[in-house]
Amino acid sequence: MPPPSFGTLDQTDLTALRSICGADFVLTDSPDLAIYGADETEDLCFPPEVVVRPQTAVQVQAIMRYCSARRLPVTPRGAGTGLSGGALPVHAGVCLSLERMNKILEVDTNNLVAVVQPGVITQMLQEVVEAQGLMYPPDPASRGSCMLGGNLAECAGGPRALKYGVTKDYVLGVEAVLPNGDRIRWGGKLLKNVTGYNLAQILVGSEGTLAIVTEITLKLVPLPKHRMMVVAPFDDGEKAATALTKIFMARLTPSAAEYLEGAAVRCAEAKFGKSFPQSDADAHLLLELDGNDRTLLERDAEAVGEICLAEGARDVLLADERAKMDDLWQMRRGISEAVKSVSIYKEEDTVVPRARLPELVRIVRDICARHRLSAITYGHAGDGNLHVNILKRDLSDQEWDERLPGAITELFEKVVAMGGAISGEHGIGWVQKRYMPIALGPAELALMRGLKGAFDPDGILNPGKMFPDEAP
């Protein structure tokens, strides 16, 4: 599997890694390797030869210096919650887990920033800062288990991205270890900084292929005092998508605007044993608004509801009790897992200009019908970001393998033709790299290869990801 240019680990290597991290933090047992060989991407598993779990940036430097000299492939890993296979050690070698670098180093309430290590669980930071009246907005569905380092590597989004932006909008500074073991720092507690190239931003979304981030300075914002949800079931998914466009055209800015097909909602109901209002509808809009003035918020929520009704919503339900809202969000966040439990599936992370969402909904349904596949679609419609889950259900392996690639290729070609992109927030990783030439041309890919070479001339860091395989 590893191309001939990579070394394979031997006992000397294991001894060296144990002397860097401590023997307890170097794993080589098969069950451990299997765990670290998988993430949340489909049912893939590529076990590494060894797992190292450093606790300090100095240890990360020593590991990288050693692996660089030995040309050993290194795959960095956060919580392994990724959906594009970014953390899969596809060339075996070393899995470098950041899970022990899990400290919130500082919450600076004067400057509204937090300084964290990469292994901090996203929700943990959110709860700590919320207790101080602040908010860290990016909220991927996996926020209860994913880590901030992984969020940075993938430029994670989530529902609130609509109003608050994605991870890149919150990264003010980084410390990172380069493949050669050098440690760099860029930025800090600064809202403006143009001192040299923005080395922090080039790392955001680079999927662990350029450097290993060992410390992050994140922007925080004041926590809004109030929030409120609006749920609108529609008998026609396209009309739900159209209603959303009208909401934005009315200059209303919900803090989240999720589109959920009925089938997605019913999967979540079955999974969690809870009911969603009018779950027999073709599709739902799940909207949240937030702000500091309750009256203003109620007025905006009513305006949102009126637009939904005018566009054909069956009904509009408002929720402002914490418990009820938490229930709705739990079901929304659990959809991915719920759909996964129904069938083998392949998830595509399409994104288009927001106003073209109704068209995307129609295209997905049309492609699936023509390729005789079934799909469950849901996602962050306010960003034009729809997760299309194509399900195997009772297809034979042969039918699945024959129909799937053509359907995905057609979907991505249509998305790109609409001015969209093939990944909004999950990344390219291992499972989408073959489709990259649909999204980017030879000049863009050559430039990306040049950037990769500037950081990682030997190509040891997270090899086999993002870039389409070269023609043989």
Q: Scanning residues 188 to 207, which ones bind a copy of itself (CB under 8 A)?
A: 188-199, 201-202, 204-206
Judged by CB under 8 A, the chain residues 244 through 273 that form the site for a copy of itself are: 245, 248-249, 251, 253
Say whether residue 425 binds a copy of itself (CB under 8 A): yes
At its nearest, how many Å lie between a copy of itself and the CB of residue 430? 14
Determine how β-strand 171-177 pairs with β-strand 113-116.
Answer: unpaired
Q: Which stretch binds a copy of itself (CB under 8 A): 15-23, 332-340, 387-395, 416-424?
A: 416-424
Provide, rounded to whole angstroms, the least separation between the CB of residue 40 and a copy of itself: 16
Residues 93-112 touching a copy of itself, rule: CB under 8 A, are 108-112
Question: What is the chain's length?
Answer: 472
Of residues 367, 422, 460, 461, which one binds a copy of itself by CB under 8 A? 422
Q: 254, 164 in Cβ contact below 8 A?
A: no
Interface segment toward a copy of itself; rule CB under 8 A; list 143-151, 273-281, 362-370, 417-425: 417-425
Contacts of 8 (CB under 8 A, 6+ apart): 2, 49, 92
428 binds a copy of itself (CB under 8 A): yes
**DSSP category for residue 223:** P
Nearer to a copy of itself, 399 or 457 (CB): 457
Question: What's the min distance (Å) between Cβ of 416 and a copy of itself?
Answer: 9
Which of 222, 405, 406, 437 is the binder for a copy of itself (CB under 8 A)?
A: 222
Would you say 440 and 448 are in contact if contact means Cβ atoms under 8 Å apart? Answer: yes
For a copy of itself, the binding residue among 371, 423, 461, 464 (CB under 8 A) is 423
Q: Which of 54, 150, 208, 420 binds a copy of itself (CB under 8 A)?
A: 420
Task: Name which of residues 25 to 54 contact a copy of itself (CB under 8 A).
Answer: none
d(CA 262, CA 339): 12
The C-alpha atoms of residue 93 and residue 8 are separated, in whole angstroms, by 7
CB nearer a copy of itself, residue 92 or residue 200: 200
User: Of all helices (H) and strands (E), which one includes residue 448?
Assistant: helix 442-455
DSSP secondary structure letters along 53-77:
---SHHHHHHHHHHHHHHT--EEEE
Please tell me the chain's helix, strand, coil percentages from 3-state DSSP, rounded to the nearest 5. 40, 20, 40
Closer residue to a copy of itself (CB): 274 or 453: 453
CB-based contact 388:367 (threshold 8 Å): no
- Among the candidate windows 52-60, 259-267, 361-369, 436-444, which touches a copy of itself by CB under 8 A? 436-444
Q: How many CB atoms lie within 10 A of CB 275?
A: 11
By CB under 8 A, the count of residues binding a copy of itself is: 85
Select from 141, 140, 144 the least CA-distant residue to 152.
140
What dihedral do alpha carbons 405, 406, 412, 416 form, nearest 10°?
140
In this structure, the number of other CB atoms found within 10 A of the CB of residue 191 comes to 9
What is the Cα–Cα distance from 389 to 432, expressed in whole angstroms? 14
Of the two residues 335 and 428, which places its CB atom closer to a copy of itself in the complex? 428
Residues 342-381 that bind a copy of itself (CB under 8 A): 351-355, 380
Which residues inside 134-163 make contact with a copy of itself, applying CB under 8 A?
154-155, 157, 161-162
Stretch that binds a copy of itself, among 2-10, 29-37, 260-268, 452-460 (CB under 8 A): 452-460
Which residue of 74, 114, 178, 407 would you call a contact of a copy of itself, by CB under 8 A? 178
| In the complex, least distance from residue 304 CB atom to a copy of itself, rounded to whole angstroms | 14
Q: Please report how close the Cβ of residue 200 comes to a copy of itself at its closest, in angstroms.
A: 9
Tokens of 105: 């180093």
Does residue 58 bind a copy of itself (CB under 8 A)? no
The string of DSSP codes covering 348-387 is EEEE--GGGHHHHHHHHHHHHHHTT-EEEEEEEGGGTEEE
Q: Would you say 161 or 229 has its CB closer to a copy of itself?
A: 161
| Minimum distance of a copy of itself from residue 300's CB (angstroms) | 9
- Residue closer to a copy of itself, measured from CB, 13 or 300: 300
Looking only at residues 68 through 97 of this chain, which bind a copy of itself when binding is defined by CB under 8 A? none
* 63 binds a copy of itself per the rule CB under 8 A: no
Complex with a copy of itself: residue 75 or 278, whichever CB lies closer = 75
Burial group, residue 100, by CB count within 10 angstroms (0-12, 13-18, 19+): middle
Tokens 């590494």, residue located: 48
Which one of 47, 254, 427, 459 is in contact with a copy of itself (CB under 8 A)?
427
CA 401 to chain centre: 26
What letter does residue 444 receive in the DSSP assignment? Answer: H
Residue closest to 431 by CA, chosen among 398, 395, 472, 464: 464
Question: Cβ of residue 81: shortest distance to a copy of itself, in angstroms?
Answer: 15
With respect to a copy of itself, which residue has the nearer C-beta, 198 or 374? 198
Q: Burial level of 51, CB count in 10 A (0-12/13-18/19+)?
A: buried
Question: Least distance in Å: CB of 142 to a copy of itself?
Answer: 15
Give residues 302-341 in contact with a copy of itself (rule: CB under 8 A).
none
